[in-house]
Structures are given as structure tokens and as C-alpha cells.
Amino acid sequence: MSPAEVAEALLVSGLQERVGGPYEQEDFPDGVKAFYEESSLACVALDAVTGPQVFLSGFPLAGSDPEQGHQFLLDHAAEHGNCVLYTPDDSVSLTDLGLLLRSQQVGEACLTRPLFVKEEWLDSQYFRDHLPLEAVQG
């Protein structure tokens, strides 16, 4: 998807905040960040608090307790045969679904933050270890 197609899918018109760096990043209203590689969508990160809520089999992926989120993903993987991958920061990914569940510090609390990632980036240790890319310097 191109940046214009992402904006259309999110029902947003006009230019969004573009952030510089080694990858194109667009910050959309309501806690949605899109990351592009060569103008093609590669990752969507949702904020744990302000992002939209998304569910997997009825479980809220944004803003949940990280321990409960990780256990849910492990249970889901066991039940549905998903491929599980752990990252060095103790995040869990269901690689065949393109889902990476990170933790986000919100004040004193730690909450889940879902990322939806293209397969090539999940297959890359560099991207898995650095997603979301807000803090990555070029």
C-alpha cells in the first residue's frame, strides 16, 4: 500500500505528519503510525492508549497487561498452529499473522502495543529488534 492508499483506508484526507529518518513514517490521528520502505507500507504501529482497539479472537491487543497478552498469544498459537517468535526485549510475535506485541510504558503502567508487520521485516532480526522505528536514527 502506498501512503495515499493508507490514508484512504484510514478515512483521513490531506497530508499527515511526516517524520524524517531512514524510513518514511507517517503519524495519523488517534495513535496510528505507518512505516514505509520505498513508499510501500511495511509496518503499522498502534499506540497502547490512543490507538484504535484491535482484537484477536476476542482479546484486546492494545492497552492490555503484557503478561496476559503474551500468554494469550501463546495459547492462540498452540490452538491455531501459529509460528511464535520471541525478540530480545521479551516481545512475542505470531509471524504467520504479521503480529508483533510490544510493551509500551504509559506513566507507571506498562501496556501492550500491537504492530502489524510485513513478513520480510519480521524475518529480519534488525527490524524485529528495532520496531517500531520511532527512535531509529539513519
Quick: pLDDT tens for 52-78.
999 999 999 999 999 999 999 999 999
| Residue 6: band (very low, low, confident or very high) from pLDDT cuts 50, 70, 90 | confident
Q: How many CA atoms lie within 13 A of 2 on its CB side?
A: 2
**Residue pair 112/103 in contact by the 8 Å Cβ criterion:** yes
As a whole number of Å, the end-to-end CA separation of the chain is: 23
Residue 80 has pLDDT above 70, yes or no: yes
Cell reading at 90: 521479551
Distance CA 20, CA 17 (A): 10
Q: What would you report as the CA-atom Rg of the chain, rounded to the nearest whole angstrom?
A: 15
Indicate the range of 13-17, 31-35, 74-78 predicted with least confidence: 13-17
> What cell does 133 get?
522505528
- pLDDT class for 18, splitting at 50, 70, 90? low
| pLDDT surpasses 50 at 138 | no
Q: Which of 14-18, 117-121, 122-126 has the lowest mean pLDDT?
A: 14-18
Grade residue 10 by pLDDT with cuts at 50, 70 and 90: confident
Percent of the chain that is helix, strand, coil (3-state, to 5): 30, 35, 35
